[in-house]
Structure 1
Amino acid sequence: MNTKYIDLIDQTYYFPQEEFNLDGEFLQFHGIPLNDLVEKYGSPLKFTYLPKISQNINLAKKWFASAIDKHGYKGKYHYCYCTKSSHFNHVLNEVLNNEVHIETSSAFDINIVEKLKKSGKIKNNTYVICNGFKREQYIENIGRLINEGHQNCIPIIDNYEELDLLSDVINDDFQVGIRIASEEEPKFEFYTSRLGIGYKNIVPFYENQIKDNDKVELKMLHFFINTGIRDNSYYWNELLKCLKVYVRLRKICPSLDSLNIGGGFPIKNSLAFDYDYQYMIDEIINQINIACKEADVPVPNIFTEFGSFTVGESGGAIYEILYQKQQNDREKWNMIDSSFITTLPDTWAINKRFILLPINRWKDEYERVLLGGLTCDSDDYYNSEQNMNAIYLPKFKRDRPLYIGFFNTGAYQETIGGFGGLQHCLIPQPKHILIDRDANGELTYELFSDQQTADDLLGILGYNGSEQASKKTKKKVTLDQE
């Protein structure tokens, strides 16, 4: 009878896989000896494997180059990274090693762009696509970037007011894009995205505010699908509607030469993950080619904005099972040494699933469990693995520590979780390790941030300065006094 954890995986999936293999009873991820990582740095911990970022960027470039060649496509392809997926310096440094462009979402993104320009990572010919709803600070920062000579900065118009606001702060001529407010999937609680301008209103908007405006040139049409690029009728229907708008605009606007097919590729969330990236890219290029040929207009240059696809599969989190609680006849709760709410907030907020595997003890017998976090919140749990509808792990034993890993967690989790700030129930943020390879292909490790201490959190809460504050004379003022 096959009762070991390794038997369960062999019976359920093809294993080993490209990024996962075993060394004895220990799991490796892209050749990283995870058990050694735990022994060196302890648990809980997070890590980022930087080479995976470049690998995914270059895979997408290869797929698009193949599709463009296959279909004789006359436009160029530009890969953009969505900074909102992970703003960290080590991520942007790795991304920008691959001759790509970036997409921003808010005001402080532009400050990051300026820092990267000073360091030489971003050049004047790097496209900076500025998305999002733009208020005063974002408008001001975009204006400063363009006024200082970054002509490949393209603000994407999200509402009817933004064009005038940008014109007020930008000194010379500038280019813009227009975002299409796509219709959402039927399961959504609303019909149309809150972002962008409706399909029917884009051509009138161009004619009324851009066509005769000598200062503004329309460069790009921006198409974004919230659920990403997927092979379903909803996606293809929205793409065709977008292409109808593009060809109508192109006939009256010669400067329009780019189509941004925003909406990212999915990333691997299960050992059973199956997605044909090359087929999807082939079909997208083919559909654009056909639509433009039928309308007798030039094909656009293609921009994509990949965030999760770029950085998601580079990240992981490792926890120790501290204790097992048998709450009734059926439910066994394995308690981890951290919190899902604070370290993997998408598991709690949007019920997202990541690849979950034990780090050690693969040759032990397994059992069905639930996973609980350390906070006192009833929602701090993780209870089902994608495509298995349950969690199976090696049996809990007090005298044999069990470590588990969540993989492909590199997008959004740190910013949504409030990296460096307060954590729910004051559970400390775990240490974070950066993993790279040197010129000889050998693994290198760097401690990016240590686990939060009590002093870190007390300082944020204002307690560390309370003694000094009490010695000072405080003057209270009312609003009318100010």
Structure 2
Amino acid sequence: MIPPATASSSKPAKRKPANGWTPGKSSELYGVDTWGHGFFGVNKQGHVTVRLADDEGTAEVSLFDVIDGLRDRGTHLPVLLRFRDLLHSRIAEINESFRKAIKETKYRGEYRGVYPIKVNQQRQVIEEISEFGKKYHYGLEAGSKPELIAALAHMHDPEAYLICNGYKDEEFIDLALQAQKMGLRIMLVLEMPSELDLILERSRKLGILPNLGVRVRLSTKGSGHWQESAGDKSVFGLNASQVIAVVDQLKESGYLGCLKMLHYHQGSQIPNIAAIREGATEAVRMYCDLVKEGAPMGVLDIGGGMAVDYDGSHTNFHSSCNYSVAEYCTDIVEVISQICDKAGVQHPNLISESGRAVVAYYSVLVFNILDVTSAQTSEAAPPIPENAPQNLMNIIEVNKVINKRNLQECFNDAMYYRDQMRAQFFYGAATLRERGLAEAWFWHILTRISNLIAEMEDDIPEDLRELSSTLVDFYYGNFSLFQSLPDSWAIDQVFPVMPIHRLDEKPRHRAVLADITCDCDGKIDRFIDKEDVAKVLPLHDLKPGEQYCLGVFLVGAYQETLGDLHNLLGDTNVVGVHLENGKPVYTHEV
């Protein structure tokens, strides 16, 4: 990435408070209180803060001060900040919410969470989860042989589960069975019917009875971007007839006593709680019938899907969720207990594979703005040349008659005459200078129209409602979208983005963010909004000699795992931040 120029500093020059604007207004503008989950806020100095804790209590730590501290230590932007306290808080919140739901509903089973390594497989993440999760007997989920090897290096709790999903060859199965023999709580999950023969073969060879789970393919789909993870077209899991075939084969071979778990997964980031309840209902009915078939069972793995409210809208939009962690846990426990009670089946132990919900808040990407290309707007009228061509004079005449009652007509006329000038240039009937003047007048007219629209509350012509997204500035950030925020490009994921300082000033620019890759897709033009996805981000102007720093929040899930080295830009600096004796301590991790 590009280091800052020597003369540049992230420390702001002294300035007077901005009249009429407060940090509280910035917090509301960027929705910090809605998506921050109590972890992030804005202080009186206009800085974004993160709430960290140590043995002495909690503290609101300024991200801007963190960046200054790192700069003084020679670590330049961009940087990915990891906050282990937020990781601990999410693990505790999920586990305590399940414990509370189990207690309140008098559920007769235990909850054991597992973390799917694929969501963020960085060593520091796995170590933190394994260490802090000990008191909850928090386990891991592996979907490949390398992930299984990584998981085994951190599994030291015989009461924690290690769930083995994904494709399994002979080496994978042998490794899992040997780990089970050593005393670990291994569950080998059948993803496809053909796996059963190989597992039973290796079991006989090694003399180890496997703990088997079966992943079922629900007809109940989830909701959101990953809803196809369930349903008839899902590439994962066994349908009802295949499940029965597995049960029959286990009966015939004398291994039915090994079938101890049912697993399902409706997809990641399920925004609608109704879909979660429906999926749990179908799954627990299958579970009860497997018990009646003679399988011992005892464990129900509900998979992942607990969503993160990225946009703070608390709706069933795909980047949000219409439920809290507590509501999710309560609904799951209630559905399972009610159906098991009616069926006369003992309540199973519950496992969830919530990865995104655990690690999303853990990481924040911070980068500086390198340059700005302003929109072709002009408050001042361009000059009028002598002997100007007729189409240019026509555009100038349009400018003279603009008012709130004829905005649509003036917009249409300006577009027409601008296009006529372009056509004349194409056929050699106008010079480059004449075309340039015509376009300067065109953008001046659009600026005036946009300003008048901003003063109007109603009766805005439909064609002009999107004008503000046309008159945007491009802010070039010192980061790679493909390395640090691949989901923004690949699936149009929206992340909270905002300045981490100067929040005591009103932002006056409508911006789109561009990265420094040589790729036209390297931009962010979708931002969180109170009602929908916004096409622009309010930002401040750049000040000479002062870095302007933005933060992208909730990037702890999948982004590091999926990011690549597009344009060979190299790795982003990664720094862990935690609190000791009330002060932030930095650990350079990458």
Structure 1 residues 114 and 381: alpha-carbon distance in aligned structure 2, compared to 1, 3 A threshold: same
Structure 1 residues 199 and 234: alpha-carbon distance in aligned structure 2, compared to 1, 3 A threshold: farther
Equivalent-residue separation in structure 1 for 2:273 and 2:323 (angstroms): 12
Residue equivalent to 2:334: 286
Does 2:213 correspond to 1:180? Answer: no
Q: Helix, strand or coil: the match of 1:103?
A: strand
The one-letter code of the counterpart of 1:7 is K
TM-score (norm 2): 0.70
> C-alpha displacement at 1:103, in angstroms?
0.9
Equivalent-residue separation in structure 1 for 2:568 and 2:184 (angstroms): 45
Q: Helix, strand or coil: the match of 1:375?
A: coil
Task: Map 1:161-180 to 2 at 5 A.
Answer: 161-170=194-203, 171=206, 172-180=208-216
Structure 1 residues 395 and 309: alpha-carbon distance in aligned structure 2, compared to 1, 3 A threshold: same
Equivalent-residue separation in structure 2 for 1:47 and 1:318 (angstroms): 8
Structure 1 residues 44 and 151: alpha-carbon distance in aligned structure 2, compared to 1, 3 A threshold: closer
The one-letter code of the counterpart of 2:25 is D
Does 2:142 correspond to 1:94? Answer: no
Residue equivalent to 1:158: 191
Does 2:150 correspond to 1:112? Answer: yes
TM-score (norm 1): 0.84
Equivalent-residue separation in structure 2 for 1:124 and 1:165 (angstroms): 26
Range with greater deviation from structure 2 (364-373 or 2-11): 2-11
Structure 1 residues 175 and 424: alpha-carbon distance in aligned structure 2, compared to 1, 3 A threshold: same
Equivalent-residue separation in structure 1 for 2:252 and 2:289 (angstroms): 14
Residue equivalent to 2:537: 391
Residues 190 and 196 of structure 2 are in contact (CA less than 8 Å); yes or no, is this contact kept in structure 1? yes
The one-letter code of the counterpart of 2:570 is P
> C-alpha displacement at 1:11, in angstroms?
5.6
Residues 231 and 280 of structure 1 are in contact (CA less than 8 Å); yes or no, is this contact kept in structure 2? no
Residues 133 and 195 of structure 1 are in contact (CA less than 8 Å); yes or no, is this contact kept in structure 2? no
Range with greater deviation from structure 2 (97-106 or 32-41): 32-41
Match of 2:78 among 40, 44, 58: 44
Structure 1 residues 146 and 222: alpha-carbon distance in aligned structure 2, compared to 1, 3 A threshold: same
Equivalent-residue separation in structure 1 for 2:494 and 2:506 (angstroms): 24
1:310-352, CA deviations, whole angstroms, 9 ceiling, x for partnerless residues?
1111111001011011354412110001111111111111111
Residues 143 and 166 of structure 1 are in contact (CA less than 8 Å); yes or no, is this contact kept in structure 2? no
Equivalent-residue separation in structure 2 for 1:14 and 1:413 (angstroms): 21
Q: What's the Cα RMSD here?
A: 2.5
Residue equivalent to 1:257: 298
Residue equivalent to 1:456: none
The one-letter code of the counterpart of 2:216 is I
Q: Helix, strand or coil: the match of 1:434?
A: strand
> C-alpha displacement at 1:302, in angstroms?
0.7
Q: Which has the larger radius of gyration?
A: 2
Match of 2:489 among 344, 348, 356: 348
Identity, % of aligned pairs? 21
Equivalent-residue separation in structure 1 for 2:251 and 2:167 (angstroms): 19
> C-alpha displacement at 1:219, in angstroms?
0.8
Residues 371 and 381 of structure 1 are in contact (CA less than 8 Å); yes or no, is this contact kept in structure 2? yes
Structure 1 residues 25 and 14: alpha-carbon distance in aligned structure 2, compared to 1, 3 A threshold: closer
Residue equivalent to 1:460: none
Residue equivalent to 1:242: 283
Equivalent-residue separation in structure 2 for 1:109 and 1:14 (angstroms): 35
Range with greater deviation from structure 2 (17-26 or 170-179): 17-26
The one-letter code of the counterpart of 2:143 is S
Residue equivalent to 2:91: 57
Equivalent-residue separation in structure 2 for 1:283 and 1:105 (angstroms): 27
The one-letter code of the counterpart of 1:168 is E
The one-letter code of the counterpart of 2:260 is K
Equivalent-residue separation in structure 1 for 2:139 and 2:325 (angstroms): 21
Structure 1 residues 271 and 308: alpha-carbon distance in aligned structure 2, compared to 1, 3 A threshold: same
Residues 181 and 192 of structure 1 are in contact (CA less than 8 Å); yes or no, is this contact kept in structure 2? no
Aligned length: 439
Structure 1 residues 256 and 336: alpha-carbon distance in aligned structure 2, compared to 1, 3 A threshold: same
Residue equivalent to 2:353: 305
Equivalent-residue separation in structure 1 for 2:582 and 2:526 (angstroms): 36
More strand by share: 1
Equivalent-residue separation in structure 2 for 1:242 and 1:199 (angstroms): 11
Structure 1 residues 151 and 339: alpha-carbon distance in aligned structure 2, compared to 1, 3 A threshold: closer
Q: Helix, strand or coil: the match of 2:234?
A: coil
Residue equivalent to 2:163: 129
Structure 1 residues 400 and 436: alpha-carbon distance in aligned structure 2, compared to 1, 3 A threshold: closer
Which residues of structure 2 form unaligned runs of 5+? 1-18, 52-59, 315-321, 378-470
Does 2:519 correspond to 1:377? Answer: yes
Q: Helix, strand or coil: the match of 2:129?
A: helix
1:420-461, CA deviations, whole angstroms, 9 ceiling, x for partnerless residues?
xxx1111222110011233x4542211111xxxxxxxxxxxx
Structure 1 residues 101 and 12: alpha-carbon distance in aligned structure 2, compared to 1, 3 A threshold: closer
Q: Helix, strand or coil: the match of 1:242?
A: helix
More helix by share: 2
Range with greater deviation from structure 2 (223-232 or 253-262): 223-232
Task: Map 1:299-448 to 2 at 5 A.
Answer: 299-326=347-374, 328-329=376-377, 330-366=471-507, 367-388=509-530, 389=534, 390-418=536-564, 423-438=565-580, 440-448=581-589
The one-letter code of the counterpart of 2:362 is S
Residues 216 and 263 of structure 2 are in contact (CA less than 8 Å); yes or no, is this contact kept in structure 1? yes
Structure 1 residues 444 and 396: alpha-carbon distance in aligned structure 2, compared to 1, 3 A threshold: same
> C-alpha displacement at 1:2, in angstroms?
5.0
Equivalent-residue separation in structure 1 for 2:252 and 2:557 (angstroms): 39
1:280-327, CA deviations, whole angstroms, 9 ceiling, x for partnerless residues?
221211111111111111111111111111111111100101101135
Residues 111 and 349 of structure 2 are in contact (CA less than 8 Å); yes or no, is this contact kept in structure 1? yes
Q: Helix, strand or coil: the match of 2:153?
A: helix
Does 2:172 correspond to 1:26? Answer: no
Structure 1 residues 21 and 210: alpha-carbon distance in aligned structure 2, compared to 1, 3 A threshold: farther
Range with greater deviation from structure 2 (175-184 or 49-58): 175-184
Equivalent-residue separation in structure 2 for 1:292 and 1:441 (angstroms): 49
> C-alpha displacement at 1:230, in angstroms?
4.3
Equivalent-residue separation in structure 1 for 2:197 and 2:520 (angstroms): 48
